[in-house]
Amino acid sequence: MKQQFARYSNILYLYFSEGFLKLPESAKNNASPKSSLKRVLKVAGYAVVRLLGNLFQSVEKPAELQRKVWLYVVSQNNYDSLSFIAEALPHAVLVAGQNKSIGKYANDVKRISLRKKIIYYYKFLPLLFQFLKQKKHITLRFYDLLFDAIGFYEVYLQKLRKYRPTCVVFANDHNPDARAMLLAAKKLGIKTAYIQHASVSNLFPPLMFDLNLLEGHDSLDKYKLCGPIAGKVELIGMPKADKYVPLRNHNTSIKTVGIGSNLMDLIEELERLLVQLSAAFPTLQFILRPHPRDNRDFSFLKSIGSNISLSDSRTAPTFEYLSQIDLQVSGNSGIHLEAVLLNVWSIFYNFNPKENLQDYYGYVANGLVDTASNTASLADLLRQHLHNKPKVYHRAKYYNATVGTHYDGHSSELALQKLQQFIASN
């Protein structure tokens, strides 16, 4: 049981940490509902819809998985970050767990059957008791995440033995299913690589991959704080931004303002800002872009003004949205970095003043973005730079190692070089 507990502690590294527990509820709620009743319903729903539902679906196609390079994805963003490898390497396939939500790419990934996951749920109660002994307060808050995680490692161990991929490439290092796949691959001696898909936090697990392709020095510095780095590290920039680098915004005037929101932002704060800015700047266009998982009602936009529109993040890639705007306003979101890479001026604005999660990624501290403490100061900044938009993309060099170099806009080529050398060495 000690070995089982250690393994699942590793799988749940981020979510069962004191640092994650101390985050505001709006941040934790993305992973586990704050409401006790909702957590119970989540467990019940998962048991019926996922565990039992998996039994009646045949999703696996062995010929498409055998002896391939697996690009393991857990989200639409992961897919966007790794798809360039699938396009370049004929023996690489994008792989996801059965029923894993991959957004608009749901039908474009090869699925791994999780039918057998249900047979490992006899481990849940013994593990629950162990976690309650060691981390009672965390376990009581996140037991639903433990329930979800059961069986991933055991099933993935079997699948890796069966299909023997030459390498498994990840774009996520902290979700339980991704960590279960990582641990199973390491158990079998299958080589692993990691391509960073978004800004990272020093709450993340220490890097355990054989090859770590990071965007820049910011990521490397943060991962050093997480613990010892096991494999080789290369700084390769952001491959998913390559095709948009030639479209960098060189406008000198601001005509369109984008507001990128996330699930932690209060909808009343978003509405208040849009009401005031659209009235103060009637000649400007405003685009609100909610997070892809945000299902809240944004119909209030229609009543504010004709100069406000909504960007559908489920269908339109982030960089397409950014190519339409001159100024980006967001709270704690990785979209700041992506905006600056396209030379879109970006301002940090806290849309959740009830909770203290200021500058989570360090963008303000490191000079990537400017900041406005309230609507008045944001409006003043906008007025000052309405006809002299700052040139900002060089600010991203600490975060993206290829900015201003020969590989600026060619991160995919650099990443493929490193990855192909790594695979060939095996």
- All structural domains of the chain with their residue ranges: 1-57+113-150, 59-112+161-238+407-426, 243-398
Beta strands, E only, 215-254: 232-235
Q: Token pair of 268, please?
A: 């009343």
| Architecture of the domain defined by 243-398 | 3-Layer(aba) Sandwich (3.40)
Q: Does pTM top 0.85 for this prediction?
A: yes
Of all residues in the chain, what percent carry a pLDDT higher than 70? 99
- Please tell me if the domain spanning 59-112+161-238+407-426 has the same topology as the one spanning 243-398: yes
CATH number assigned to the domain covering 59-112+161-238+407-426:
3.40.50.2000
Give 195 or 48, the one with higher predicted confidence: 195
d(CA 175, CA 183): 12
Mean pLDDT score, 148-172: 98
Residue 134 C-beta-side C-alpha neighbours within 13 Å: 14
Give 305 or 211, the one with higher predicted confidence: 211
Q: Token pair of 104, please?
A: 């608009």
- Helices (H) and strands (E) in the chain — how many of each? 17, 13
Given pLDDT bands bounded at 50, 70 and 90, which one contains residue 384? very high
3-state secondary structure of 77: helix
Q: How far apart are the first and last CA of the chain?
A: 34
DSSP letter, residue 204: S
Flag the least confident range among 263-277, 313-327, 349-363, 397-411: 349-363
DSSP letter, residue 128: H
d(CA 385, CA 231): 45
